[in-house]
Amino acid sequence: MKTALAAVALLTAALGAQAQSSFFPQESETAAAEAAAARDYLAAKDRWHNELAAFARADQERFPAPGGVVFVGSSTVRMWTRLSQDFARVPGGVVNRGFGGSTLADCALFARDLVVRYKPRQVMVYAGDNDLAEGRTPLQVLDSFARFANAVRAELPDTRISFISVKPSPSREQLLPQIRETNHVVSAYLNLLPNSEFIDIYTPMLGADGRPRMELFRGDRLHLTDEGYRLWHSVIAPHLPSPPPAPTAGLP
């Protein structure tokens, strides 16, 4: 109950800060805070230089058309090599901007670089388990997601934001309590955020014994097998835009 209330409070504060920032100077907008944010961004750009350069090259070869769906997040997104084929019927297409080892904190820093610039109609976010593995708390993960959502909504107010729940990886089974709590507080946040949704991938990845289904994971017990991605596709597909119905033959 306390964490749910904390999630509501954080959401209210995050949205309130966004709404008021044009009228009243906030403590977070001081020169020191802005300098710290700039340092974090530059450090992240240096850390992810190769990945960001690869995205830039891909954009030079073929810049994605606006109105599609961007998938962003950690290695589970990056390693979904059949993402475009699996969602080939999504209007506007899909863009994969996953970068392995990334956190929700990184996604928040790069929201403009990896999401806003493509002007998608929807963004699918998968990250958070790396944050927990690095020692962040569920509420710190929620704070990163709130920052990400605010950054997207500030420039793309009509873009739908979908959060794919943190998965129950066998290699991180000791973190399952924190993973469940993270999913709980992010879900509570999204219940109050318009045009958003929480996609539960956690529950169908558990067996009857309540433990992670090993057949869904590779030998490293962290990344997904083909069967794991088929499960993800079946859960996520209903949450994506559908193509318009084909015209009926013989009708004007």
Asked whether residue 106 is domain-assigned, the answer is yes
Residue 244 φ/ψ, nearest 5 degrees: -65, 150
Mean pLDDT, the chain, integer: 89
Residue 55, in any domain of the structure? no
CATH of the domain at 195: 3.40.50.1110
Per-residue pLDDT of 190-247, as tens digits, reads 999 999 999 999 999 999 999 999 999 999 999 999 999 999 999 999 999 988 776 6
Q: What's the rounded mean pLDDT across residues 56-60? A: 97
**What residues contact 105, with CB distance under 8 A and at least 6 apart?**
131, 136, 144
Average confidence (pLDDT) over 91-114: 96
Query: Does the residue 33 lie in any domain?
Result: no
Find, among 198, 187, 192, 161, the residue nearest to 16 by Cα.
192
Segment 103-152, tens digit of pLDDT: 999 999 999 999 999 999 999 999 999 999 999 999 999 999 999 999 99
Domain extent at residue 172: 2-11+64-239
The total domain count for the chain is 1
